[in-house]
Chain A
Amino acid sequence: MGKSINIIQSRAVPLTIENIDTDQIIPARFLKATSRDGFGKNLFRDWRYENGDEQKPKAGFPLNNPAYSGKILVAAKNFGCGSSREHAAWAIKDYGFDVVVSSFFADIFKNNALNNFLLPVLVSENFLQQLFDEVQKDPSTVLEVNLEDQYIKIASTGAKESFDINSYKKTCLLNGYDDIDYLLNMKPEIEKFEKQYA
């Protein structure tokens, strides 16, 4: 992986349904691959297409609405609940999103997103509503996500909110470091730990 992120300015796609679980993000029948690639085409498969048929896109679904585009997915609370499948994060990233904004993230999804350089941005319920309102009113609304300075801003209104991220993860994302690199460098310490632990 190793792809760093910092400032993302983009339009957004709004998903106003709450409790979107990872089975919706990527249905189980698409988990049979043995590589990490190509999950984007099955992102929200059953919400995007009638009977899973690519020839029959469901008109009401935001990903099928040509007015909405961009690298930022804005989703209602408790996004990514359910299964631990990292395929959900792979699918969102592979589709072309770099940021997911919500007022509440499920734990495992958040970790999976971070491990794939997909930035989860946690905002207040009020700010989320503002985002939905602005993007739905004018789909060309541009959002700015700044990881270094930890804020998200609506370009047109100037409305801005800061978000939290732990400093270790922030450094990883800004520099393109993986947890596994960190852990591999710690091997001698881990071996030492095992000796006193046993």
Chain B
Amino acid sequence: MGKTLFDKIWDRHVVKTIAGGPSVLYIDKHFIHEVTSPQAFKGLQQRGLKVFRPGQVVATADHNVPTLNQHLPIKEELSRIQVEQLKKNCAEFGIELYGLGHPYQGIVHVIGPELGITQPGMTIVCGDSHTSTHGAFGTIAFGIGTSEVEMVLATQCLMHTKPKLMRITVDGELNKGVVSKDIILYIIAQISASGATGYAVEYAGSAIRNLSMEARMTICNMSIEMGARCGMIAPDETAFAYIKDKEFAPQGDAWGKAVNTWRTLYSDADAVFDKELHISAENIEPMITYGTNPGMGIGITGHVPALGEIDEREKPSFEKSLLYMGLTPGENIKGKKVDYVFIGSCTNSRIEDLRMVAAFVKGKKKAGNVEVWVVPGSKQVEKQAIEEGINKVFEDAGFVLRQPGCSACLGMNEDKIPAGKYCISTSNRNFEGRQGPNARTLLASPLTAAAAAITGEVTDVRELI
């Protein structure tokens, strides 16, 4: 029997398997940031340990950083302490830090790929659930807790049981106005916020194959929103072309050798998955969420489910969710007024996302009732956007281009959506309070978010392109 892509990478990294228990898995790359690492470093200090392989750890500051005036000291005291603590820890333990002010600083899942640190066949972890993003390159990449961050710092290993395997095949051509964010929101709406729990998911099919690397990252990024341990896509020429000549990509002879190895990373034709799901790309329309978990998504022309469409047992959670969102069962989502538009996060803050938005808004003006924040994923994305004049397009449209960070995706810094306000957001989570206490989040693609910025309401972008 053939092997899956997941098996091939997993098997190569197993140091040992404990009978009736987990495997000891070797980790190639470990990304850390200021929020989930301080207690891990403290643990090392208490045990008198060093970082075992500091060269395999890369740090950045992203969750807590301001997105305006980054050259000034961080105003919020606790945020400042956390960012300073990261700096101290990295200096003490010999870890490379791309902190505030560094030209490589940015959201951890944006900088790993753009620097060529993320490479096919690797095992990658980070104390952040959206680590699944890196799976777009054919890696096993997943989020871990702080105790596990400490384990990897101390031993470069983790103890995990092998997940089950699911393949989601998306075939066909995408409709006009439909982008990769819509694919993943559609998949999650189909299988629910827990539909892939316990599984590693491989995405395959012609619609996936035709996507750019950045679009693929958007899909793998949100694998965790259906509970998946990780999401992955077999690396191909598109992936190799993306990685080539990146800062930390293999150079010279090493490049050819690496690509030859990477070409072996695919699921064999006779490989067997525990679960298979097939989706026709033609069935996907621009998507939007109406509820408080990412599985509560509908097509833009659809309606919030009526009570009769909800399973009896799920009604209390559904009603609580709608009450929070200020929505009525059965109502249409199109035409709903929005107050804020957030374009950013590790899901959709890369240069292609910004280009997509800029191409759409060029020559248009934002609606008077909305505030629009565009937060680039990294210093390099920001620089590129300025070089291409995208900042000018945004300025003319009345959008504010801020500085890199996680920003309003989770509102740990001052970028919060006020209570009761609606925000159409390109981020990954619409949980209660995620963007600020009592803020109401509607998840959508950069294109759908941009359309709402122009009209001031939930809009079917297909009517404007």
> Which residues in A have some Cβ–Cβ distance to B below 8 Å?
16-19, 21, 23-24, 27-29, 31-36, 46, 51-52, 76-78, 81-87, 89, 104-108, 111-112, 115-116, 166-169, 178-180, 182-184, 186-187, 189-190, 193-194, 197
How far apart sit A111 and B163, CA to CA, in the bound complex (Å)?
13
Tell me if A186 and B197 are in contact (CB < 8 A). Answer: no
Q: How far is the CB of A140 from chain B (nearest CB, A)?
A: 24
Tell me if A107 and B145 are in contact (CB < 8 A). Answer: no
Q: Does B129 reach chain A (CB closer than 8 Å)?
A: yes
Q: How far is the CB of B165 from chain A (nearest CB, A)?
A: 14
Given contacts A115-B148, A186-B157, 18 further A-B contacts (CB under 8 A): A16-B316, A19-B293, A21-B293, A23-B432, A29-B412, A34-B85, A46-B437, A84-B129, A86-B146, A107-B229, A108-B129, A108-B142, A111-B160, A112-B145, A166-B22, A180-B147, A180-B150, A182-B159
Q: Does B161 reach chain A (CB closer than 8 Å)?
A: yes
Tell me if A35 and B412 are in contact (CB < 8 A). Answer: no
Query: Which of the candidate stretches B12-20, B166-174, B332-340 sits at the interface with the other chain?
Result: B12-20
Tell me if B129 and A83 are in contact (CB < 8 A). Answer: yes
Q: Which residue of A lies closest to B436 (CB)?
A: A29
Tell me if A183 and B24 are in contact (CB < 8 A). Answer: yes
How far apart sit A102 and B154, CA to CA, in the bound complex (Å)?
32
How far apart sit A79 and B26, CA to CA, in the bound complex (Å)?
28
- How many B residues face the partner with a CB closer than 8 A? 70
Other-chain contact of A23, B79, B144, B160, B431 (Cβ < 8 Å):
B431
Question: A32-B82, A46-B437 are contacts. A81–B147 as well, Cβ < 8 Å?
Answer: no
Pairs of residues from A and B, 6 with the lowest C-beta to C-beta distance, nearest first: A168-B21, A86-B145, A32-B78, A84-B143, A112-B145, A34-B38
Tell me if A17 and B433 are in contact (CB < 8 A). Answer: no
How far apart sit A2 and B5, CA to CA, in the bound complex (Å)?
37
Residues of A within 8 A of B316 (CB): 16-17
Tell me if B20 and A166 are in contact (CB < 8 A). Answer: yes
How far apart sit A115 and B142, CA to CA, in the bound complex (Å)?
17
Tell me if A82 and B78 are in contact (CB < 8 A). Answer: no
Tell me if A184 and B154 are in contact (CB < 8 A). Answer: yes
Tell me if B145 and A84 are in contact (CB < 8 A). Answer: yes
Residues of A within 8 A of B163 (CB): 107
21 contacts across the A-B interface (CB closer than 8 A): A23-B433, A28-B412, A28-B434, A34-B38, A35-B39, A36-B146, A46-B432, A77-B194, A78-B193, A81-B193, A81-B194, A84-B129, A84-B143, A106-B197, A111-B145, A168-B20, A179-B151, A179-B158, A186-B15, A190-B155, A190-B157
Tell me if B42 and A34 are in contact (CB < 8 A). Answer: yes
Tell me if A82 and B155 are in contact (CB < 8 A). Answer: no
How far apart sit A87 and B38, CA to CA, in the bound complex (Å)?
12
Residues of A within 8 A of B22 (CB): 166, 168-169
Most chain B Cβ neighbours within 10 Å, of A78, A180, A187, A190: A180
Residues of B within 8 A of A193 (CB): 15, 26
Q: Does B447 reach chain A (CB closer than 8 Å)?
A: no
Q: Does B463 reach chain A (CB closer than 8 Å)?
A: no
Q: Which residue of B lies closest to A178 (CB)?
A: B147
Tell me if A29 and B82 are in contact (CB < 8 A). Answer: no
Residues of B within 8 A of A86 (CB): 36, 39, 127, 145-147
Tell me if B410 and A28 are in contact (CB < 8 A). Answer: yes
Q: Does B261 reach chain A (CB closer than 8 Å)?
A: no
Q: Which residue of B lies closest to A114 (CB)?
A: B147
How far apart sit A194 and B156, CA to CA, in the bound complex (Å)?
10
Tell me if B155 and A107 are in contact (CB < 8 A). Answer: no
Q: Does B205 reach chain A (CB closer than 8 Å)?
A: no
| Cβ proximity bits B431-455 to A, threshold 8 Å, 1 near / 0 not | 1111001100000000000000000
Residues of B within 8 A of A189 (CB): 15-16, 24
Tell me if B431 and A82 are in contact (CB < 8 A). Answer: yes
How far apart sit A171 and B161, CA to CA, in the bound complex (Å)?
16
How far apart sit A180 and B147, CA to CA, in the bound complex (Å)?
8
How far apart sit A193 and B145, CA to CA, in the bound complex (Å)?
24
Tell me if A179 and B147 are in contact (CB < 8 A). Answer: yes
Q: Which residue of B lies closest to A83 (CB)?
A: B129
Q: How far is the CB of A181 from chain B (nearest CB, A)?
A: 10
| Cβ proximity bits B165-208 to A, threshold 8 Å, 1 near / 0 not | 00000000000000000000000000001100110000000000
Tell me if B157 and A183 are in contact (CB < 8 A). Answer: yes
Tell me if A19 and B64 are in contact (CB < 8 A). Answer: no
Q: Which residue of A lies closest to B20 (CB)?
A: A167
Most chain B Cβ neighbours within 10 Å, of A77, A84, A189: A84
